[in-house]
Structure 1
Amino acid sequence: MADTVPATVFVLNGPNLNLLGLREPEIYGHDTLDDIAGMLEDRARELDLEIDLRQSNHEGHLIDWLHEAQAQQARAVLLNAGGFTHTSVALHDAIKSVKTPVIEVHLSNPHRRESFRHTSLIGQAAKGTIAGFGALSYLLALEAAARI
């Protein structure tokens, strides 16, 4: 029997997430994006998944990567769109245009923050949302991705 290739889960991170661990650690925690990548890779191996983690401060990159995830038949996309969560109709439309399930991820709980963060255009298009558990939010989303 031939070896199977593990399914890929894209983990897409939006603006300012390259500053995790430095930027407002009282809100976002002390884990860096590299720390989160390591946790995800360890758990992905146990779930027979591969992680393709990317970060960009540019909206168009995130849209292109959503399209790429579909073209590569990714198992799912974990998307922390950062500030684009509340503003990007283009990302909302991109999520709706792909068949790959998208799980919205947030380190903090947007509903416990400023009122402008209470509306998520991403969440309105995503399969589901996991928020408020720090770096654990990513691991919980990966568990969900493994089961959908």
Structure 2
Amino acid sequence: MLLREAQVLVSYRGSPVVEPAGEARRAVAGDRAPDCGGLRDPLVAHPLRLYDLLRERDHVLLLYAATGDQAAAFDELADLARNTARSALTCYAVLAPDVEAPRLLLPFVHDGSGEFRDAYGAESAAALLIRPDGHLAARSTPAGRLEVLDALARVFD
């Protein structure tokens, strides 16, 4: 018997609960957030899938960094985001494979195989807000403070 993983193909593009889609990207606000593998948690021996991080969560803010300098601002941005969401938000940093994060307080994973970068078209700093139903509510490239807080305000105000 052939088993196949299937997802409901629902999109909220153009809905007032997501940011305007703008130009076509790999993962556009309103689409189901694509899963990806190869995420490496320093505390876990085996690679994780993105859906492992999204499972049983409220909204999730993913902050992608291609360099250590980009990741340096993520703790402050995550604190502001959690305050805006009245603590109904989980935040993770997703770091390029070679990015060191010795001072990062935010939970983080490394994009060990580059699947996250490819699935989300993240070449530089990016912020992705994922709704509890697994759909992408907003994305900001670069991961700017105002863009992230504006996206959260649309959801939580």
TM-score of the alignment, normalized to the shorter chain, above 0.5 = no
TM score, norm. by length of structure 1: 0.39
TM score, norm. by length of structure 2: 0.37
Higher fraction of helix: 1
